[in-house]
């Protein structure tokens, strides 16, 4: 019975792959350790506003404006985001984007998140939307995905509030002008 030993080419390939794997793990761990030690802080995410558009082609667009603030002395790369919108406790929209945003060092930027609601999803809550003095509860939750320096870290955000049907109509009227 003969023993087979790896050829020099396959042995080198194994070494290169192992070094790449260790290097990737070290970079990922480095970013997480920096975050844990407080050397890098996650960006702050604030809801700046919501804008409604008129329904078109079976879809109602709600534009969610987020203000991102970077508390770090270096620029951060946001690789995208995900979101989910609930009205009256029912999920009516969810989505994600791969849109890259550079967040300047110690600076801020504004990001528009287009949320597309299928009008058929609104039929589940139509009675609540049509009651005159009732406030409509909304909740938006999601997260920003940061670049590989932080290991692809996801920074969550969550906002909730109430709006009356009249306030919603005022938003629509102001948009039409």
pLDDT of residue 165: 67
pLDDT of residue 96: 94
> Quick check: 33 pLDDT over 50?
no
pLDDT of residue 37: 54
CA proximity to 25, closest of 37, 17, 15: 17
pLDDT of residue 54: 79
Range of 81's domain?
A: 41-176
For residue 42, what are the CA distances in angstroms to 16, 36, 100, 103? 33, 10, 16, 11
> Quick check: 118 pLDDT over 80?
yes
> Quick check: 39 pLDDT over 80?
no
Whose structure tokens read 């306030």? Answer: 167
Are residues 8 and 84 located together in one domain of the fold? no
CA separation for the pair 177, 166 (Å, rounded): 17
Give the chain's mean pLDDT: 77
CA proximity to 142, closest of 76, 104, 97, 77: 97
Are residues 9 and 52 located together in one domain of the fold? no
Reported as a single tens digit per residue, the pLDDT across 4-32 is 455 454 445 444 444 444 544 444 444 44
Are residues 69 and 114 located together in one domain of the fold? yes
Reported as a single tens digit per residue, the pLDDT across 136-153 is 889 999 999 988 654 568
Global model pTM greater than 0.75: no
Q: What is the mean pLDDT of residues 45-66?
A: 88
Are residues 21 and 55 located together in one domain of the fold? no
Of 100 and 120, more confident: 100
Contact indicator for 90, 124 with CB cutoff of 8 Å:
yes
pLDDT of residue 3: 52
Contact indicator for 89, 138 with CB cutoff of 8 Å:
no
Are residues 17 and 52 located together in one domain of the fold? no
Are residues 68 and 117 located together in one domain of the fold? yes
Are residues 24 and 51 located together in one domain of the fold? no
pLDDT of residue 53: 80
Are residues 55 and 130 located together in one domain of the fold? yes
CA separation for the pair 149, 34 (Å, rounded): 10
Are residues 98 and 167 located together in one domain of the fold? yes
Number of domains in the chain: 2
Task: Judge residue 8's burial from the number of C-beta atoms within 10 Å of its C-beta, 0-12 exposed, 13-18 middle, 19 or more buried.
Answer: exposed
pLDDT of residue 18: 44
């Amino acid at each position: 019975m003969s023993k087979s030993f790896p050829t020099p080419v396959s042995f080198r390939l194994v070494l290169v792959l192992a070094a790449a794997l260790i290097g990737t793990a070290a970079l990922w761990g480095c970013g997480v350790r920096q975050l844990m030690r407080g050397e890098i802080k996650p960006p702050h995410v604030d809801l700046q506003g919501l804008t409604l558009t008129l329904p078109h082609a079976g879809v109602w667009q709600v534009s969610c404006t987020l203000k991102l603030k970077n508390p770090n002395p270096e620029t951060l790369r946001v690789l995208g985001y995900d979101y989910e919108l609930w009205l009256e406790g029912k999920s009516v929209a969810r989505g994600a984007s791969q849109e890259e945003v550079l967040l300047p060092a110690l600076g801020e930027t504004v990001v528009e998140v287009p949320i597309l609601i299928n009008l058929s999803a609104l039929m589940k809550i139509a009675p609540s939307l049509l009651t005159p003095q009732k406030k409509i509860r909304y909740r938006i939750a999601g997260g920003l995905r940061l670049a590989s320096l932080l290991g692809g870290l996801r920074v969550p955000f969550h906002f909730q509030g109430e709006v009356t049907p009249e306030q919603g109509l005022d938003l629509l009227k102001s948009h039409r002008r």
